[in-house]
Structure 1
Amino acid sequence: MSSTSKKHSNFVSEPMRNKRVTEVPGIGGTYGDRLSSRGYGQARDVLGQYLTVKGDEKPFRDFVMSNAGANSKSTGECYQAMKQWTDNFM
């Protein structure tokens, strides 16, 4: 990404710990509520799905879209955040 948001910068620069799902770039209140209602209330839950698909962009973005109802821009932000976070910490 050529330009990143403050939310993205904060997310990828810190360990996962107990971050809420709404701390993930691309996931706001509405998408966060939808994910939480499906058992993905923590950022680490979404990270688990990213790792399950081995960082493959299409299935991960499909997961976010189908479970949060997220649009293409939001799924892209979420994917980029997970990719950069794993590059930084794993």
Structure 2
Amino acid sequence: MKKHSNFVSEPMRNKPVGEVPGIGKTSAGRLDSRGYGESRDVLGKYLAVKGDEQRFRDFVMSNAGANSKSTGDCYKAMKEWTNNFL
């Protein structure tokens, strides 16, 4: 929960993708190798799918190899961050 509360309460800046809730070291490496090395890259995908939960979770699962809980944590973080900052 600390990772989530820190993430959603601060500007994104150039945070590495591993700082996104639900994204661990292995998933971060997979995302980075696919061109999503910073948290703002993942935010861009979230915005591109217009916050559609299933499409975003499918993206995270297929590109990061994340499980259902992790994709849910990532989605919730992006949703809350956009509510706080956009």
TM-score range, shorter chain: over 0.9
User: Are 2:20 and 1:50 aligned?
Assistant: no
Query: What's the RMSD between the two structures over aligned residues?
Result: 0.2
Runs (5+) with no aligned partner, structure 2: none
Pairing partner for 1:13 from 6, 9, 18: 9
SS in structure 2 opposite 1:17? coil
1:74 is matched with 70
SS in structure 2 opposite 1:14? coil
Looking at structure 2, the residues matched to 68 and 55 of structure 1 have their Cα atoms a distance apart, in angstroms, of 18
Looking at structure 1, the residues matched to 23 and 37 of structure 2 have their Cα atoms a distance apart, in angstroms, of 11
Looking at structure 1, the residues matched to 63 and 70 of structure 2 have their Cα atoms a distance apart, in angstroms, of 13
Kindly provide the amino acid, as one letter, of the partner of residue 24 in structure 2. G
Q: Percent identity?
A: 78
Looking at structure 2, the residues matched to 59 and 69 of structure 1 have their Cα atoms a distance apart, in angstroms, of 15
Kindly provide the amino acid, as one letter, of the partner of residue 53 in structure 1. V
Shift of 1:50: 0.1
Length-normalised TM-score, structure 2:
0.99
Length-normalised TM-score, structure 1:
0.95
Moved over 6 A (4+): none
1:37 is matched with 33
Runs (5+) with no aligned partner, structure 1: none
